[in-house]
Structure 1
Amino acid sequence: MNQVNLMGNVTRDLELKESATHHKYVQFVLAVNPIGSKDRSADFINMVAFGTQAERLSSYVQKGTKLAVSGHLASESYVNKDGAQRTSTNVVIETFELVGKNKSKVKDEAVEA
């Protein structure tokens, strides 16, 4: 089983990008505060979404948005600018929900559309 459920705040505005094969995606970091520990700082988790999910996220999410996500972990290897082999682990978003005051923005815009 490979399932991840997180809730946190988006650390920067999202930018919808397109891959060389014309697939749309967004990458961002979610700051997740630990439960019951005021002594520990937030965990910063790499997130990625593709296709329709990426388009929706880029339309409604901005820096500071509180977001609940469900997805799975995926690791990839790559060579960085210095030629060193690196590995990156991301949460691939399958579903998401805006939390708190952000929800009304989505409902208002959906009604106007």
Structure 2
Amino acid sequence: MPSINVCIIMGNLTREPDLRYTPSGSPVCEMALAVNRKSNGREDVTYIDVVAWGKNAENCKRYLEKGSCVMIEGYLKTETWDDRSSRQRRSRLKLVCETLHFISSPRGNTNRASEGSQPPSGPNPPPPPAHPAEYSEGDIPF
């Protein structure tokens, strides 16, 4: 049976993007997003680890900072490893960035011209609906 692994997430960075390079010279940037969701009158926050490679990684470090709002399109990937201290098999889910859209800067920071460049311009994503439909967990078929 075919499967689909596609995610589109929009949220705010919880920390500064961490850009590093692999031994072969490929840029890789790790960051985390906080995604807010209102449900049944309360707000839930989900924290998502994100990894970007290549030009996306370099652009994340160049144009984003803690608090920036960004929309990321990509896929989920599970990382597994053996924990040295507990000797247990550990795993975590990460969102691998394939495309990113710069939505806004952190509050109070209207331009980052001091860094010598502006984020790339392009079409903005459509605004969210004025009155999104409210769904209860019982409405979800899975």
TM-score by length of 2: 0.67
Deviations 1:46-88 (A, max 9, x none): 1101111101111111000000110001112112231321111
Is 1:76 matched with 2:79?
Answer: yes
3-state secondary structure, aligned to 1:52? helix
User: Which of 16, 23, 30 lines up with 1:27 in the alignment?
Assistant: 30
Q: Relative to 1, partners in 2 of residues 1:38 and 1:62: Cα closer, same or farther, differing over 3 Å? A: farther
Aligned to 2:117: 109
- Which residue matches 1:99? 103
Letter in 2 for 1:89: L
Q: Which of 6, 16, 23 lines up with 2:9 in the alignment?
A: 6
Structure 1 residues without counterparts, runs of 5 or longer: none
3-state SS, counterpart of residue 2 of structure 1: coil
Structure 2 segments unaligned to the other structure (5+ residues): 120-142
Which AA in structure 1 matches 2:48? I
SS, match of residue 56 in structure 1? helix
- Note the alpha carbon deviations across 1:16-49, whole angstroms, 9 max, x for none: 1122443221111100001455513310011101
Q: Identity of aligned pairs, percent?
A: 25
Structure 1 moving runs of 4+ over 3 Å: 35-38, 104-108
Question: Could you tell me how far apart the structure 2 residues matched to 1:23 and 1:62 are?
Answer: 21
1:85 aligns with 2:89: yes
Give the conservation status (yes or no) of the 8 Å contact 2:29–2:53.
yes
- Larger Rg belongs to: 2
- Equivalent residue pairs, number: 110
Kindly provide the amino acid, as one letter, of the partner of residue 82 in structure 2: V
Q: Deviations over 1:69-112 (max 9, x none)?
A: 1000111211223132111110000001111357x85898249x
Report the 3-state secondary structure (helix = DSSP H, G, I; strand = E; otherwise coil) of the residue aligned with 2:18: coil
What is the TM-score of this pair, normalised by structure 1?
0.83
